[in-house]
Amino acid sequence: MLDFFTIFSKGGIVLFYIQGTNGIFLPSVNALIRSVLLEERGGKSSSFMHDNLQLQYKLDNEFDLVFVVGYQNFLQLNYVDKFLSEIHLRFRDEYKNDLKFATRGEYKKFAICYEEVLTAVEEGAREQNARPKAMKTFQDSEKSKKTVASLIEKKGGDEKKSSGKGGKTDNNGKVQTKKEQVEPLSTPEDSPKGTLSGKSDDEIMKNREKLFGKRPGSGPTSPKAKPKAEKEKKTKQKRMWEQGGTYKDANTLDFSKEKKNGESQSGGDGDAQDSDMAIVGSGKDLADLDEGDENDYESTEEDESGSDQNENSGTDAPKKKLVAAAAKKGFGGGMFSVFKGLVGSRTVSKEQLAPVIAKMRLALIEKNVAAEIAEKLCQSVSEKMEGKALGTFEGVASVVKTAVQEALVKILTPKKPVNVLRDALAAKSAGQPFVITFCGVNGVGKSTNLAKIAFWFLENQLRVLIAACDTFRAGAVEQLRTHRTRLDAMHPGNNIHLYEKGYGKDAAAIAMEAIQYARDNKYDVVLVDTAGRMQDNEPLMRALAKLIKVNQPDMVLFVGEALVGNEAVDQVVKFNQALADNSQADQPRIIDGIVLTKFDTIDDKVGAAVSMAYITGQPIVFVGTGQTYTDLKNLNTKAVC
């Protein structure tokens, strides 16, 4: 059922490959590497479609491996995820030492394990599909476990409820109230003479105090009724040592209990001596001390306690000797664990990544990155970082931040080098004009940035023809005429010309005539201005797709604002979709690049650049940074990141 399976390193070395059919799958794997792995477009799905093939992959970030399986996209295989997980674990168990020490293993032998895992997973899937799913009975449901008693909300439980009212349980299990617990007064016949109920006045008063709960020490009383001795009595809390001891030393460090001989550990010279010894841990932690050191410690304790008893009370000398011996042999107790935790490699878990990734997502959104793009980018980074080994003194937050910056650089870096001037010179040498079509929504600055690009071509000694194909907006032709007059004054010599046919004409026909005019009059560059249109306006989008299909320009530039956030994604996606749907071609022309305008008005909120580049996969060719002809820049990828 599977067409192929391969394991390769992120450096491009194929470790294992097995093929089930005679197809050629190298282009599909290369497309997965270029479009997903290199551009940080991974996520929760971990799937990719190319040439009727469905590719699913799994990353091993500890050893920098990629597991890829491919099958026909019309097949519904529900066991592929389980297969990838199982084969990943088997491969790690089999070649863990070879991967760890970068040795060359016999990976061809893994074919046996591959067949075993695939057969087991396929049989399990068949059994699961063949076995009908049994309906859940009422007894198995959660609703059947609910009773009337369980629906009654109880505060504090039955015991607290009964004890709070002073209730007790008799031998029959019946709860007695406080009134029932009071001993009944004797009858006059049973009582001796001289008393009303056979009891003295003092006993009667005591019973009354017990009944109303006012007698100190009987029943629950208020804090005011407690004696002063009980109020002032405080229990000693456990002493918490800093940078010392382990959980095994808990009994040694517990000063709230009494010794076995009945003496308290709260004072005395011997107690201080025990506490000093507990600073460096128990004897198990000081395993590096040999017998000679222990004998030195014992003799020193005797000498120091006898000679310096008045000064140190026999406490400082044993501690100094013990610490010196530990320093001589090397720390073996709890102190060393502090430094030991900082050294060595650690793997990043999903729980450690979650809070850092959440903060990074909010930071991206605050910088005007679209929420959907920020979520996908963070998912890709999380998948890339999970299980990755951290070096010495590396923190999760710093590593994630570096990974996000690298991902942003990959997104904003073009798939292939973009050099508009080189392409224009190549077209000039071939005797053909280089045609650029500008499109975008209303009011983003298409005509203004077209004039900036025309000035840039004029500065590079190329002749420019502007085609006024915006026959819809009033004043569009006059605006281009004004720009042409100013540019001609800067570069005299008939190097720039405006081709116009007025308003209400077919834009595609005007563009075709302008290209032919440029070819006949030896113009090097043709800049086609189109009408602004919203991405949801179907008639205008159909007209734009017709213009591009008929004239086949060398480059289609989408002009967008740097001010927009989530709207940027919607604009670019719908423009691309409309161009593809209305072109009626097997390989439709879509957006080739982006011109980002008003970049000087957003301060550091440059997220629109990331959103547009991510969703289209196309480069940002120019950035508009002002209102003059020279305010046209190339995007500085590192500065944006």
pLDDT band at 272 (very low <50, low <70, confident <90, very high): very low
Question: Are residues 603 and 496 both part of a single domain?
Answer: yes
Q: Which of 423, 428, 448 is nearest to 438 (CA)?
A: 448
Does residue 227 sit within a domain? no
Question: Are residues 478 and 617 both part of a single domain?
Answer: yes
CATH of residue 9's domain is 3.30.450.60
Q: Which residue has the higher pLDDT, 408 or 281?
A: 408
CATH of residue 499's domain is 3.40.50.300
Question: Are residues 110 and 34 both part of a single domain?
Answer: yes
Question: Are residues 299 and 404 both part of a single domain?
Answer: no
Residues with Cβ < 8 Å from 421, sequence gap 6 or more?
457, 460
Question: Are residues 611 and 523 both part of a single domain?
Answer: yes
Q: Look at residue 420 and give its three-state secondary structure.
A: helix
E runs forming strands in 491-604: 496-499, 525-529, 555-561, 593-597
Cα within 13 Å of Cα(385), Cβ side? 28
Does residue 556 sit within a domain? yes
Cα 378 from Cα 383, distance rounded (Å): 9
Tokens for 7?
Answer: 């394991």
Tokens for 104?
Answer: 């060359």
152 torsion bin: left (phi>0), alpha (psi -120 to 50), beta (else): beta
Q: What is the 8-class DSSP label of residue 8?
A: E
Does residue 159 sit within a domain? no
Q: Look at residue 610 and give its three-state secondary structure.
A: helix
Question: Are residues 393 and 424 both part of a single domain?
Answer: no
Question: Are residues 354 and 474 both part of a single domain?
Answer: no
pLDDT band at 335 (very low <50, low <70, confident <90, very high): very low
Question: Are residues 339 and 357 both part of a single domain?
Answer: no
The pLDDT, as a whole number, for residue 462 is 94
Please, what is the Cα angle at 369 between 366 and 374, to 5 degrees? 100
Q: Residue 20: give the domain boundaries.
A: 4-129
Going by their DSSP bridges, the two strands 389-390 and 346-347 should be labelled as antiparallel
Final residue in a domain of this structure, among 390, 412, 434 = 412
Write phi, then psi, for 524 (nearest 5 degrees): -85, -35
Residues with Cβ < 8 Å from 274, sequence gap 6 or more?
252, 265
The pLDDT, as a whole number, for residue 570 is 83
E runs forming strands in 486-579: 496-499, 525-529, 555-561
* Tens digit of each residue's pLDDT (9 = 90 or more) over 192-206: 444 444 566 777 777
* Tens digit of each residue's pLDDT (9 = 90 or more) over 567-595: 877 888 888 888 888 777 777 788 899 99
Tokens for 579?
Answer: 């161009």
Average pLDDT over residues 450-473: 93
The pLDDT, as a whole number, for residue 161 is 43
Residues with Cβ < 8 Å from 595, sequence gap 6 or more?
438, 449, 453, 557, 558, 559, 560, 620, 621, 622, 623, 624
Tokens for 360?
Answer: 């990074």
Question: Are residues 401 and 425 both part of a single domain?
Answer: no
Question: Are residues 301 and 389 both part of a single domain?
Answer: no
Q: Which residue has the higher pLDDT, 165 or 601?
A: 601
Question: Are residues 396 and 517 both part of a single domain?
Answer: no
* Tens digit of each residue's pLDDT (9 = 90 or more) over 159-173: 444 444 444 445 444
Does residue 247 sit within a domain? no
Could you tell me how many residues make up the chain? 641
The pLDDT, as a whole number, for residue 421 is 92
Q: Look at residue 191 and give its three-state secondary structure.
A: coil
Residues with Cβ < 8 Å from 51, sequence gap 6 or more?
27, 28
* Tens digit of each residue's pLDDT (9 = 90 or more) over 200-243: 677 777 777 777 665 454 444 444 445 555 555 566 766 665 55
Domain count along the chain: 4
Does residue 167 sit within a domain? no
Final residue in a domain of this structure, among 324, 343, 362 = 343
pLDDT band at 10 (very low <50, low <70, confident <90, very high): confident
Does residue 465 sit within a domain? yes
Cα 592 from Cα 620, distance rounded (Å): 9
Final residue in a domain of this structure, among 82, 109, 129 = 129
Residues with Cβ < 8 Å from 255, sequence gap 6 or more?
236, 238, 239, 265, 266, 275
Does residue 194 sit within a domain? no
Question: Are residues 388 and 520 both part of a single domain?
Answer: no
**Mean pLDDT, all residues of the chain:** 75
Does residue 197 sit within a domain? no
Average pLDDT over residues 404-411: 85
pLDDT band at 6 (very low <50, low <70, confident <90, very high): very high
Cα 298 from Cα 296, distance rounded (Å): 5
